[in-house]
């Protein structure tokens, strides 16, 4: 599924990842639907892989917001590395958290550019 043109454009655009396959959102969604077992374990492993763009994004599809502790959600927000990650994390995971609104209220004035952007992305997704 690698898209060299997109991968090269993202790399030239300043993405911090060492490996970029250039997959788009529908492709990531398709991959996520094929994962049947151990989704949470895989999500954590993928999120921990800070060097591969698609690993970080795919993790957002696999996290289960119904069982995610608030402390873990805060850690994810603090670990966001790009605006793209913040957007996908907010749309695929954070907005589905049972405590999403309370989390958003507590994030007002978050430190760090990407943490702040993640809070903004969550606000857009809860509107």
- Domain check: are 7 and 29 in the same one? yes
Largest CA distance in the chain: 41
- Hey, is 73 helix, strand or coil? helix
pLDDT at 110 over 70: no
Domain that holds residue 84: 66-127
Q: Per-residue pLDDT tens for 37-92?
A: 899 999 999 999 999 999 999 999 999 999 999 999 999 999 999 999 999 999 99
In this structure, the answer to whether residues 6 and 52 fall within a common structural domain is yes
Question: Which of 18, 39, 62 lies at the terminal end of a domain, its last residue?
Answer: 62
Closest to 55 measured CA to CA, from 26, 78, 31, 33: 31
Q: CA–CA separation, 53 vs 23, rounded Å? A: 9
Q: How far, in Å, CA of 69 to CA of 35, rounded?
A: 22
- Residue 70 and residue 13 share a domain: no
């Amino acid at each position: 599924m690698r898209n060299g043109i997109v991968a090269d454009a993202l790399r030239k655009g300043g993405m911090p990842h060492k490996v970029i396959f250039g997959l788009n959102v529908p492709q990531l969604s398709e991959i996520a639907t094929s994962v049947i077992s151990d989704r949470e374990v895989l999500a954590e492993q993928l999120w921990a892989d800070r060097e591969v763009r698609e690993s970080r994004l795919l993790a957002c599809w696999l996290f289960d917001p119904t069982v995610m502790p608030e402390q873990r959600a805060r850690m994810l927000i603090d670990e966001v590395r790009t605006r793209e990650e913040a957007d996908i994390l907010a749309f695929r995971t954070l907005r589905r958290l049972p405590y999403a609104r309370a989390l958003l209220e507590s994030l007002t004035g978050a430190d760090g550019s990407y943490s702040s952007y993640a809070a903004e992305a969550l606000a857009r997704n809860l509107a």
